Amino acid sequence: MRTFKQLHTLPLGNDPGVVRSLCFNHNGKIVAAAEDGWVRLFDVNTRASILNWQASEDALVTAVRFSADQNSVYTLSDDGMFCEWSLHDSARCLTYHNLSQFCASPQNLMTRHEFALHSPPSAVSRKEQLLCTSNTCDAPLLAAGEDTQDDTTQEIEVLSGESSYGSITSVDWHPSNPICTTGTFSGAICISELAVQLP
């Protein structure tokens, strides 16, 4: 059996609560989301805290990911607020999507939502596609970088599933093709292909 040796511990401050999500990038940075609503960016080599910001005052941030170009961080909270934060402008919120219609549920089926990131070839599209889990049978599909400040009129594209499968509890993308997989509350694993939109 292989064992791991702990190298060091990164400082989160006083009483951060449960660490809900972690993510490495390509050059040794870690972004972390804790139960206190703060997102923290660390340099693993120096163990230094690079940037901290409050992503939510009232909700739990349950998922964090770096963008493919490493210039921003995406967060998703349990109230359905999906945000893109700039790493070069003091963690300014660049765009957000209100996904509460997919995350809120009177049955409270899931309190931890996540998302998967797909970076299509530049010949097809320059926008990253983000697929999120859902308390419904439809998973929200977002195009990263689109300005969505007016969420009252926004139409969110969805990946429709069979209602008998229940809520979508896990998502991921194929590493190179526009194919995604979703795991459901009823125990089904579904594979779907994203149709290319013609100009």
Q: Determine, yes or no, domain membership for 2.
A: no
Stronger pLDDT, 148 or 123, i.e. the higher one? 148
Rounded distance between C-alpha atoms, residue 26 and residue 171, angstroms:
22
Q: Determine, yes or no, domain membership for 45.
A: no
Domain extent, residue 138, equals 60-193
Rounded distance between C-alpha atoms, residue 132 and residue 79, angstroms:
13
**What's the total number of domains in the chain?**
1
Q: Determine, yes or no, domain membership for 16.
A: no
Rounded distance between C-alpha atoms, residue 61 and residue 197, angstroms:
32
Stronger pLDDT, 151 or 180, i.e. the higher one? 180
Q: Determine, yes or no, domain membership for 175.
A: yes
Condensed to tens digits (0 to 9), the pLDDT of residues 34-91 reads 778 889 999 988 888 899 999 988 888 889 999 888 899 999 988 888 999 999 988 8
Q: How high is the pLDDT of residue 86?
A: 93
Collapsing DSSP to helix, strand or coil, 123 comes out as coil
Backbone angles phi, psi at 76, to 5 degrees: -135, 130
Q: How high is the pLDDT of residue 147?
A: 52
Q: Determine, yes or no, domain membership for 149.
A: yes
Q: Determine, yes or no, domain membership for 32.
A: no
Stronger pLDDT, 150 or 56, i.e. the higher one? 56
Query: Are 41 and 30 contacting, i.e. CB atoms less than 8 angstroms apart?
Result: yes
Q: Determine, yes or no, domain membership for 8.
A: no
Burial 159-191 (b: 16+ CB within 10 A, else e): bebeeebbbbbebbbeeeebebebbbeeeeeee
Condensed to tens digits (0 to 9), the pLDDT of residues 103-118 reads 765 555 555 788 888 8
For the chain, the average pLDDT equals 81
Q: How high is the pLDDT of residue 73?
A: 93
Q: How high is the pLDDT of residue 153?
A: 37
Is the pLDDT at 199 greater than 60? The verdict is no
Rounded distance between C-alpha atoms, residue 48 and residue 130, angstroms:
30
Please tell me which of 3-17, 52-66, 124-138, 150-164 the model is most confident about, judged by mean pLDDT: 52-66
Query: Which CATH number is 92's domain given?
Result: 2.130.10.10
Q: Determine, yes or no, domain membership for 12.
A: no
Q: How high is the pLDDT of residue 109?
A: 55
